[in-house]
Amino acid sequence: MVLGRRLRLAGLPDATPVVTHRNQQVMVSWRPGKGLRLHEGYAHAPDDVLTALVSFLTPGTRRAARLAARQVFLAFPVEDFAPGSPRDPLTRERPGDERALARLRQLHLELNHRHFDGALGRIPILLSSRMRRRLGELRLERQTGRAIRITLNRRHVRRDTSVAVIDTLLHEMVHQWQAESGRAVDHGAEFRRKAREVGISPRATAGELRPGRIAAGQG
């Protein structure tokens, strides 16, 4: 694969598997042990964009450098070179959702004041039936990195305990805190520290950076 060779020339470890896709909701997905998945449009990106992408993924890269690199590779218009099939990423509300969403919005308000001094912005919360492995995810605006919505797995919200759902919501709120405070939105050391501070497990089973989204087993 030409893209794989170019990424390795940019510094990606030789043994890292590289797989491409055209999912417009997932630009870059890094899973330790499983390799790198990224949008096919990056095959047309100039070398500086690929170098920024590798720099973002490299352990030990300083936060300021990671943020700068992230802005570079997310600004590249991959959809212009490898368009996917159009699909509304939002899931329509279903019967029974209204009560659950009202409760989640109230929880967000309460948890914001309890754990973040009320500093987080109000953000739309949605439910999705499309999630299979993930419990939740935060969507970011690709050009600016602004947090624009939290989506939770509908089955998780309906079937699991309130404690489990609160943990998932808090997980996404930690990512919202990262985005709104200018930090890298990832599962690194700062995420783990803040997760412990708010009382949730810092473990993330599988992370995916989206053009906007960050998702993990719990988002």
pLDDT of residue 24: 64
Summarize pLDDT for 25-65 with one digit per residue, the tens.
667 888 777 789 888 889 888 999 999 999 998 889 898 99
Domain 97-216 maps to which CATH number in 2.60.120, 2.50.20, 1.20.120, 3.30.2010?
3.30.2010
pLDDT of residue 193: 94
Which of 3-7, 74-78, 112-116, 121-125 is least confident?
74-78
Q: Which candidate, 203, 219, 76, 204, places its Cα nearest to that of 139?
A: 219
Find the helix or strand (DSSP H, E) in which 194 lies: helix 189-198
3-state secondary structure of 210: coil
Work out whether the CA dihedral 92, 95, 98, 100 comes out positive or negative: negative
Summarize pLDDT for 150-205 with one digit per residue, the tens.
999 999 999 999 999 999 999 999 999 999 998 888 888 899 999 999 999 887 54
pLDDT of residue 92: 63
3-state secondary structure of 203: coil
Q: Which pTM was predicted?
A: 0.62
pLDDT of residue 77: 78
Tokens of 25: 């909701």
Percent helix, strand, coil in the chain, to 5, is: 45, 15, 40
The domain ranges of the chain are 2-81, 97-216
